[in-house]
Chain A
Amino acid sequence: MTAARLELRDAVKHYRSGDEVVRAVDGVSMTADPGEMVALYGPSGSGKSTLLLLAAGLLRPDAGTIRFGTRDVTAMSDAEAADYQRREVGFVSQSFHLLPGVPAVENAAVKLIADRVPLRAARRAATEWLERVGLGGRLHHTPEQLSGGERQRVAIARALANGPSLLLTDEPTGSLDSARGAEVLALLAQLGHEQGAAVLMVTHDPRAADVADRVLTLRDGRVVTETTAPTTAGPPAPARR
């Protein structure tokens, strides 16, 4: 893993829905440094998830630039983008998207397997990560046999198994109760710091502000507030742009 800074400059992504143009991301500039956790707040449709997909290189912006370290994500070919996603990016989503019926260790290894890592080595690495997220005793349980929090931990282990320098998480606590949610947030912050990875987290969870280094609030595709100091009482107040 190479520590690197994520930098979006005037990123724009519009969709067409019938005759209407949806400005999902409308000129967003932001950064996330290695080891830094940035939380993205905002109502539904404010462009948070689109921002994550842009950062992951899964969507191409209509305008603006996205850089990760020295690499220009915007200019990457499809093959380069795939390589970037495989090597540099880890992704955790609200609904886990674990393969049903498949043991935790293999679910966590799936990304390594896609990257042609030999199966045994992939399993070994996945096992280490599952142990780090506290699932060492549930390696061979299938998603159906795990609780919501445990499933999210498997998803986190999967995202981190390839040692990403950019961790993108979309509502990682959305499906969890408050206790489990707090655990997962703390885990993400801890792992991000330990790994030196930039963490970009889309969330509605007010506790995210407790662990995030910076909080950006989005509305209608734009960053409307930015708070660098953690707060303990819900989303940050509007800030000067």
Chain B
Amino acid sequence: MRLEALLYFYGRRLRTQPVQELLAGLGIAIGVALTFAVLVANSSVAGSAEQVARSVVGTADLQVAARGARGLDEQLLAGVRATPGVVHAAPLLEQRAVLRGPGGRSTPVNLVGIDREMAAFSGRLAGTFVAGGLLGVDGIVLPLASAQVLGIGRDHDAIVRDPARVDVEVAGRSVPTTVAATLGREAAGPLAEALVAIVPLERAQRMTGLEGRVSRVIVETAPGREEAVREHLESLADDRFDVTAADAESALLRQALGPGDQATSFFAAISALLGFLLAFNAMLLTSPERRRLIAELRMQGFRARQLVVLVLFQAGVLGLVSSAVGVLGGSVLARGVFDDSPDYLSPPFTLGTGTLVGPLPVIGALVAGMLACALASAPPLLDLRRGRAVDAALRSPGVPGNALTSRTRRRMLWTALGLTAVAGALLAFAPEIALLASGLLAIATVLLIPSTFAAVLTAAEWVVERAPGLGLVTVALFALRATTLRSLALAATGGVAVFGSVTIGGARDDLLRGIANYADDYVTTADLWIVNPADNQGTSEIRRPGIVERVAAVDGVREARPFQGSFLDAHGRRLWVIARPSEDPSLVPRSQLVDGDLEQTERRLRDGGWVVLSDQLAEQTGTGPGGRFALPTPSGGVSLRVAATTTNLGWAPGTVIVGRDDFARLWGSDAPTSVEVSLEPGADLLDTRAAVERAIGADSGLQVLTAAERIEIINASARQGLDRLDQIATLLLVAAVLAMAAAMSAAIWQRRVAIAALRIQSFTPRQLWALLLIESGVVLAAGCLTGAVLGLLGQVGADRYLRVATGFPVSAVPASWQTVEAFTIVVAAALAVVAIPGWFASRADPSLGLQE
């Protein structure tokens, strides 16, 4: 068919059905926008962190990294530089800190100490900081992102003429300093988006109490010498340090993000399915007209292939335009809504805050949108099947193009049941692909809706047969029988929205509940906690000699216990190592135990030589209770026996609990990372807290938190980390409600002639309005009910994935309030919106009913 003819037919369609075309495009655009935004947001966290890492290390290809917060002796640097094949080597000291700016604003940052050797690596950091002479200035240098959080941001690179004063709270001390410069994107590149603070190495060492120590030495090797250098450095490290690629951080971050990204990608896929249904729905509104057009064109001698080309061309144009709109909308969403990096990742990783849009997601989104549009447009092509009458569109029962045979319905039911059974089997036997099970359930939701809908209609008819005075419901049921496919598509849209919302929201709630349980067990061992700010996991050292003894001497304090912890890179992941004081009433959070005997486990941890691992870590390293686990520590590699397994305590890469004596020996440090304080019976909590704050000194920069406050901070951090799930669930509902309401409104508007005819048959406008609302209510209820029931199964799937495949603590409570809420929101909101065009349509001019 000639392009001119294709354009003519499309133009005709646009002129005759502009609203339906707009609705179809809107559906595709919504699906593409949600999916695209999630994919971009996911890749941006890792991508921007990679850019930051690269702008620090520049051309370095290897690094020697310390295994603990105390770093490694900077004397090692000489040995590294002397290694044959090493072109350049420079030290870095990195410590977690909190900057407190004017007006009390604060932000956690990675405090980075560098020396002038960095200039040799040609990274952005080197170029601006070293070559720009900033090493010589007094104070710290902040990238724009950090400065703006503190309210001292400049919109250009500048040496600050009127230096703002900030306090650097690090390692149990608060160090007043000034901001010497802020670096914008032009000077610092991607580093401008990172929450870091840069100071000369020696000053960083003094600030942190780590004189003579560095965190890592980055190395640039001569071409072709990398392997030889690595081997030499490994012998130099003697299993006390790690020798890795200079950008190893990126791989570790990707590993940490993996489970969350998979979960959000799955939910994005549900959004895509929803978008497809919205488009399908909108296409159905015009199905009768399009079927008639195809029938007429066939009678005029058009060949089947030409008609396929015609339909695909129209779908392609609509798909391309609406996908492009979706990509634009998705970019806005990714930058405006999904732009927060998860807080819980910021202590162990240096994250960027930029949003990266690569070409692949854009191309993928455009192609997917066009494919979805082609699929949604396809049903009228079924009329081209051999043996089907040309005028099938005019002879089928009900509203033309809206019939669904009972045979088709039965097939859909059996397929849905089959998919549900497969999903059940996956949940039971292959939890690592449980998300796939949830995906199958989403499809089963759509397939089940015809049967649910028929069941609801039959049940409603049974009721109205026996209940006088429900005449309007009866008439509504008649109308619903006549517009089956359109009603089903609307019901499916609501069903998938509720399914997605229940699955996503339910899994999120279960995860939050699980983390709350863990936080409760983890924190309530003490009445008060002394911690570094923004250090939920308790991994930053408090280098304040005698602090535990001073606190123990405070009136009202029964006991002060040093708690230790650290992040450790091992087995391709950044592990969280926890070493609780032996005197603690509980060393392992009781609610998080997966496999093992609690009392025996705690006894073994206190005795030493034993370790408790998160379940998934144990499984992936091929060990379990009774087995052994290799732990690379700052004093060398050790092999500890596994006493029990737990959940991952909310830290996706995995957790390791060791006895405190073992930790102090293996990490070579007694410095606590937090202090647990138990009070004398009857001591006033707040008074004692004030006394403890005085005892540790106002210049400590430390926080003294009640157990309840610390629990709330941990829970808030978890909530922030799961914000994206919440946002997706909410957007899913909002998009579904709006699109359904729009489609229903258009359908109602199309029926004005039929409504006018009912007016002539003595139905009052009020009755007709009620009729339309009852119809819409039945459609929505049938769809949303199916979505809610299968959504609960989907929630089980998502929970099982999170618990078994990723090891997150999950406390599953199905059929929660959230399910009712999602159901009610979709039904009530869509009805509320539909009520307006329904009101106008119910007042249609009766003379419309006299027209042919």
Binding site for B on A (CB under 8 A): 49-50, 52-53, 56, 58-59, 78-79, 82, 85-86, 89, 91, 93-95, 97, 99-102, 106-107, 110-120, 122, 142, 144-145, 158, 162, 170, 174
Contacts and interface: CB of A to CB of B under 8 A. Distances in A.
Given A50-B847, A93-B757, A110-B761, A102 B481 contact: yes
A194 B835 CA distance: 43
Interface in B471-487: 471-472, 474-475, 478-479, 481-482, 484
A91 B397 contact: no
A158 B761 contact: yes
Contacts of B398: 100-101, 142, 144
Given A89-B762, A110-B478, A114-B475, A101 B397 contact: yes
Nearest to B479: A99
Contacts of B397: 100-101, 142, 144-145
Interface of B: 395-399, 403, 464-465, 468-469, 471-472, 474-475, 478-479, 481-482, 484, 754, 757-764, 767, 846-847, 849-852
A107 B478 CA distance: 9
A116 B471 contact: yes
Contacts of A114: 471-472, 475, 761-763, 767
Contacts of A110: 475, 478, 761
A62 B690 CA distance: 85
Contact of A91 (B403, B469, B484, B760): B760
Nearest to A78: B764
Given A95-B852, A113-B474, A114-B762, A144 B754 contact: no
Nearest to B761: A111
Given A89-B762, A101-B397, A144-B396, A116 B850 contact: no
B847 A49 contact: yes
What are the 3 A-B residue pairs with the smallest beta carbon separation, nearest first?
A: A97-B757, A101-B398, A101-B482
A174 B403 CA distance: 28
Contact of B478 (A94, A99, A122): A99
B471 A58 contact: no
Contacts of B764: 78-79, 82
B471 A86 contact: no
Given A53-B847, A101-B397, A102-B482, 14 more contacts: A58-B759, A82-B762, A91-B762, A93-B760, A97-B761, A99-B482, A100-B397, A101-B478, A111-B762, A113-B472, A119-B474, A142-B398, A144-B397, A162-B762
A110 B468 CA distance: 14
B850 A49 contact: yes
19 contacts: A82-B762, A94-B852, A99-B475, A99-B478, A101-B397, A101-B399, A101-B481, A106-B474, A110-B478, A113-B471, A114-B761, A114-B763, A114-B767, A116-B468, A116-B469, A118-B468, A144-B395, A144-B396, A144-B398
Contacts of B399: 100-101
Contacts of A93: 757, 760, 849-850
Nearest to A100: B482
A119 B850 contact: no
Contacts of A53: 760, 846-847, 850
Nearest to A107: B478
B478 A170 contact: no
A17 to B, nearest CB: 13
Contacts of B767: 114
Nearest to A59: B846
Contacts of B484: 101
A76 B376 CA distance: 50
Nearest to B468: A118
A220 B398 CA distance: 39
A49 B479 CA distance: 26
B759 to A, nearest CB: 7
Contacts of B851: 95
B465 A120 contact: yes
Contacts of B472: 113-114
Residue with the greatest number of chain B CB neighbours at <10 A, chosen from A106, A114, A115, A117: A114
B291 to A, nearest CB: 15
A106 B465 CA distance: 12
Nearest to A110: B475
B184 to A, nearest CB: 62
Given A53-B847, A58-B846, A115-B471, A85 B478 contact: no
Nearest to A85: B762
A170 B475 contact: no
A64 B474 CA distance: 39
A152 to B, nearest CB: 13
Nearest to B757: A97
B752 to A, nearest CB: 12
A110 B851 CA distance: 20
The CB with the most chain B CB atoms within 10 A, among A110, A115, A142, A170, is that of: A110
Contacts of B758: 97
A111 B471 CA distance: 9
A86 B475 CA distance: 15
A85 B765 CA distance: 13
A226 B833 CA distance: 51
Nearest to B484: A101
Contacts of A58: 759-760, 846
A145 B759 CA distance: 25
Contacts of B762: 82, 85-86, 89, 91, 111, 114-115, 162
A117 B469 CA distance: 7
B40 to A, nearest CB: 46
Residue from the set A100, A110, A111 with the largest chain B CB neighbour count within 10 Å: A100
Nearest to A50: B847
Contacts of A106: 474, 478
B850 A170 contact: yes
Contacts of A50: 847
B396 A119 contact: no
B630 to A, nearest CB: 71
Contacts of B846: 53, 56, 58-59
A118 B469 CA distance: 7
Nearest to B766: A82
Contacts of A49: 847, 850
- From B395, B763, B850, name the one whose CB has the most chain A CB atoms within 10 angstroms: B850
Most buried by B among A52, A56, A102, A117: A102
B481 A119 contact: no
Contacts of A144: 395-398
Contacts of A82: 762, 764
Contacts of B481: 101-102
Contacts of A145: 397
Contacts of A117: 471
Contacts of B759: 58
Contacts of B464: 119
Given A82-B762, A93-B849, A100-B399, A119 B471 contact: yes
Contacts of B760: 53, 56, 58, 91, 93, 97
A220 B566 CA distance: 95
B481 to A, nearest CB: 5
Nearest to A24: B847
A148 B479 CA distance: 21
Nearest to A79: B764
B774 to A, nearest CB: 13
- B403, B469, B754, B764 interface centre (most CB from chain A within 10 Å): B764
Nearest to A97: B757
Contacts of A95: 757, 851-852
A44 to B, nearest CB: 11
Residue from B399, B465, B761 with most neighbouring chain A CB atoms (10 Å): B761
A52 B847 CA distance: 10
A79 B765 CA distance: 10
Contacts of B761: 91, 97, 110-111, 114, 158
B442 to A, nearest CB: 30
Nearest to A91: B760
A238 to B, nearest CB: 26
Contacts of B475: 99, 110, 113-114
